[in-house]
Amino acid sequence: MINEQLLNPSGIVVVGGSDDIQKPGGKVLRNLLDGDFKGKLYVVNPKVDEVQGVKSYRKVDDLPQVDCAILAIAAKYCPDAVEVLAKQKGTKAFIILSAGFSEENAEGAALESRIVDTVNSVGGALIGPNCIGVLTTHYNGVFTTPIPALDPRGVDLISGSGATALFIMDAGMQKGVKFSSVFSVGNSAQLGVEEVLEYLDESFDPEKSSRVKLLYVESIAKPEKLLKHASSLIRKGCRIAAIKSGGSAAGSRAASSHTGALASSDVAVEALFRKAGIVRCNGRDELATIAGIFMYPPLQGKNMAIVTHAGGPAVMLTDALSNGGMEIPHLEGEKALQLLEQLFNGSSVGNPIDFLATGTAEQLGIILDACERDFDAVDGIAVIFGSPGLFPVFDVYDMLDRKMKTARKPIFPIFPSYTIVKEEIKAFADKGRVYFPDEVLFGNALAKVWHTAAPQPENPVLPAVNVQKIRAIIDQAGNGYLAPEQIHGLLDAAGIERAKEGVADQEEDCVRLATEIGYPLVMKVVGPVHKSEVNGVVLHVKDEQTVRREFRRMMQIKDTYAVMLAQQLSGTEVFIGAKREQKFGHMVLCGLGGIFIEVLKDVKAGLAPLSCTEAREMIRQLKSYKIIQGVRGQEGVNEAKFAEAVARISVLVKIAPEIFEMDLNPLLGNKAGVVAVDARIRIEKEN
């Protein structure tokens, strides 16, 4: 567990400290010295008595009591050093920079396990091994450079990769982003991304803590912990963005259902981030850009004014924002004309507001005042200002800074010409300002931030289902696909409306069943997994003669042991599925059904359980949502009933985690409701 000795130690020892600053042990010691660490500093080096002006001990046994140890020695020597430090020197915080542990082989994993056991035995905290270290506002415990500006209200960065942490810091520093802490967790032997986030949540102080968290995650070991603490922090007023790498089609296993084929581990990550309210990023620069956006007040609407003295970048930003679903409202009327009169001839104020390359700092101030005061349609302002380098433009950046101090609406500065006006931009950043070098990257990032919804409620209101009946059916079921009558029982217990249907394995029983259900009918084989591929589905059955003929034909199809009859309904085909994903629990998916699911693959996924509200948000995010609403005279689907069915399935799989995957495909939806026509449920019970 993270402790005070790790965050703000009274003393630090660098085991493996060196005079060679091209080695990790030498560089981390240099960084500690350059960072003006206020506590006591020690070195262990068996060959010398002094390293970089710091007293060096030949063995860890010779050290005095010390809070925190940074190890930069060969992996094979680490367990013994940790043993002495933890048991004899009162050390409760360990940062192991060294590689050669579980990331390499079984022998390394055994060394790592021994270290974890020792640290746990004294209630200590372990970062690493195989990491770049830890940065806090109290000490520079990393062996990399450059060291970013540290500020308690800066960004908290947690990274599973040391190199990536360095590159994210570098990208952020280029935009003026400051950092509060950096945790490079490496192998996450004891403390991983989830545990650090847990600490940031449980120790959050609204007066002192950073409100921006950045994550780089290569694997999510504890999804529930990540979801719990990320959403908790966001509800407290924090903003979180994350990269989750390693998601690809190769990660999804072959499956016999549509749900299994569409629901990969990366889909689960996407669903987790959406449920938590985390902005998912695709790369370091986007993450750093979003960190910069997080440093500004949140937009209260999606209407942006673009202020520029260069037409091309304004057009590209307009495209990026518009394509991302943001609005660039046209500015017109008396107030717009009054603004135009105060600018040079040739300027335009329709939005983008172009005050030309000859525009002055004073004119920029007038424009910003107008956007703030006169145009209610404007929620935020993007200012693009570069320079051809003909003369200094400090006054423009000073004007921006002054207006940003008093504006209610966020003003986002975009500076495309860094090299030419390096000194002006540095002066702007030295005032604590964050800026954006690229208008398109900024526009795409801002749209992504705007469209990331707030976290779902911690205790959502869920539909009521018959828990006792669900458990009775599941407890009696074996592994594999459930029989139709078991499926019917589960759907009824979950409150899912289904078509009248039945199963018969004798011709006369089939005829009698057809009469009970009523014509027209659908007939389907029972047994084969993909019914349509074996010509095992017949629609529009309207008489007994057809029932008899098709029953005889279907029973000859390979693997068929019975025939299902169901009332034939009309409506739009939709789909609900669920799949159990290791560690994440169940994903529930929805979209258009029938053949559309194979052709369009337009589905949205959420982590169970889902409230009706969350399910409705998933439906509205579908690319095919217009079809569900009803287009060109076609009757739409009852959205509330569809969302309720999705929520009910999410409750079903929470109660019955033995369900490995299931498809309701299709359900037929119309204005009256949504009715399940066909379903498959596969059970996998753990041994």
pLDDT band at 315 (very low <50, low <70, confident <90, very high): very high
Residue 520, φ and ψ in degrees, nearest 5: -75, 160
Cα 114 from chain centroid (whole Å): 33
CA atoms of 302 and 96, how far apart (whole Å): 46
The number of C-alpha atoms within 13 Å of 166 and in the hemisphere containing its C-beta is 12
- CA distances for 578 relative to 495, 600, 641, 660, angstroms: 16, 18, 18, 8
- CA distances for 257 relative to 191, 260, 265, 528, 587, angstroms: 37, 5, 16, 12, 14
Mean pLDDT, range 129-158, rounded to an integer: 95
Q: How many residues does the chain have?
A: 687
**Of 456, 459, 2, 455, whose CA–CA distance to 200 is shortest?**
2
SS in 3 state form for 34-84?
A: HCCCCCEEEEECCCCCEECCEEEECCHHHCCCCCEEEECCCHHHHHHHHHH
At 361, which amino acid appears?
Answer: A
The alpha carbon dihedral of 256, 262, 263, 265 has a sign of positive
pLDDT score of 260: 46
485, 492 in Cβ contact below 8 A? no
Q: Which residues are within 8 A (CB) of 109 and not within 5 positions of it... i.e. 6 or more apart?
A: 101, 102
pLDDT score of 257: 47
Buried b (16+ CB within 10 A) or exposed e, 295-328: bbeebeebbbbbbbbbeebbeebbebbeebebeb
pLDDT score of 389: 65
Quick one: DSSP state of residue 149?
P
pLDDT score of 255: 37
Output the six-digit token pair for 316.
Answer: 């590209």
Quick one: DSSP state of residue 504?
E
Strand pairing partners for 681? 662
The alpha carbon dihedral of 483, 484, 490, 494 has a sign of positive
- CA distances for 370 relative to 87, 335, 383, 409, angstroms: 67, 8, 14, 12
Ranges 91-95, 258-262, 354-358, 484-488, most confident: 91-95
The answer, yes or no, to whether residue 23 has pLDDT greater than 50, is yes
Cβ-count burial of 230 within 10 angstroms (0-12 exposed, 13-18 middle, 19+ buried)? Answer: buried
Q: To 5 degrees, how large is the angle CA 25–CA 30–CA 36?
A: 135
- CA distances for 355 relative to 306, 321, 378, 401, angstroms: 11, 20, 18, 19
Terminal-to-terminal C-alpha distance of the chain = 33
pLDDT band at 231 (very low <50, low <70, confident <90, very high): very high
Cis check: omega of the bond before 457, within 30 degrees of 0: no
The answer, yes or no, to whether residue 248 has pLDDT greater than 70, is no
**Of 123, 124, 143, whose CA–CA distance to 134 is shortest?**
143
pLDDT score of 430: 92
676, 496 in Cβ contact below 8 A? yes
The answer, yes or no, to whether residue 31 has pLDDT greater than 90, is yes
Q: What is the pLDDT of residues 251-270, one digit of tens each?
A: 334 334 445 445 468 889 99
Strand pairing partners for 134? 141, 183
Q: What is the pLDDT of residues 543-578, one digit of tens each?
A: 999 999 999 999 999 999 999 998 888 899 999 999
143, 27 in Cβ contact below 8 A? yes
**Of 655, 322, 267, 602, whose CA–CA distance to 494 is shortest?**
655
CA atoms of 482 and 462, how far apart (whole Å): 25
Mean pLDDT, range 263-279, rounded to an integer: 89
pLDDT score of 391: 67
Cis check: omega of the bond before 24, within 30 degrees of 0: no
The answer, yes or no, to whether residue 75 has pLDDT greater than 70, is yes
The answer, yes or no, to whether residue 484 has pLDDT greater than 90, is no
Q: What is the pLDDT of residues 596-640, one digit of tens each?
A: 777 777 899 999 999 999 999 999 999 899 999 998 778 999 999
pLDDT score of 264: 60
* Long-range interactions of 624-633: CB distance < 8 A, separation 24+: 624/591, 624/592, 624/596, 624/600, 627/572, 627/592, 628/572, 628/574, 628/592, 628/669
CA atoms of 257 and 661, how far apart (whole Å): 8
593, 575 in Cβ contact below 8 A? yes
The number of C-alpha atoms within 13 Å of 79 and in the hemisphere containing its C-beta is 14
Output the six-digit token pair for 409.
Answer: 């609406």
The answer, yes or no, to whether residue 317 has pLDDT greater than 60, is yes
Output the six-digit token pair for 106.
Answer: 């079984």
CA atoms of 297 and 212, how far apart (whole Å): 12
Cis check: omega of the bond before 484, within 30 degrees of 0: no
Mean pLDDT, range 523-527, rounded to an integer: 93
At 621, which amino acid appears?
Answer: Q
**Of 686, 683, 640, 628, whose CA–CA distance to 660 is shortest?**
683
Cβ-count burial of 405 within 10 angstroms (0-12 exposed, 13-18 middle, 19+ buried)? Answer: exposed
299, 326 in Cβ contact below 8 A? no
Work out the mean pLDDT of the chain and round it to a whole number. 93
**Of 64, 19, 74, 73, whose CA–CA distance to 41 is shortest?**
64
**Radius of gyration over every alpha carbon of the chain, rounded to an integer in angstroms:** 31
Percent of the chain with pLDDT over 70: 97
CA atoms of 164 and 187, how far apart (whole Å): 14
Q: Which residue has the tokens 């780089």?
A: 216
Output the six-digit token pair for 277.
Answer: 């309210």
SS in 3 state form for 277-345?
A: CCEEECCHHHHHHHHHHHCCCCCCCCEEEEEECCHHHHHHHHHHHHHCCCECCCCCCHHHHHHHHCCCC
pLDDT score of 210: 96
Between 292 and 249, the more confident residue is: 292
Q: What is the pLDDT of residues 366-425, one digit of tens each?
A: 999 999 999 999 999 999 998 766 667 899 999 999 999 999 999 999 999 878 888 999
**Of 42, 118, 106, 44, whose CA–CA distance to 79 is shortest?**
118
The answer, yes or no, to whether residue 428 has pLDDT greater than 70, is yes
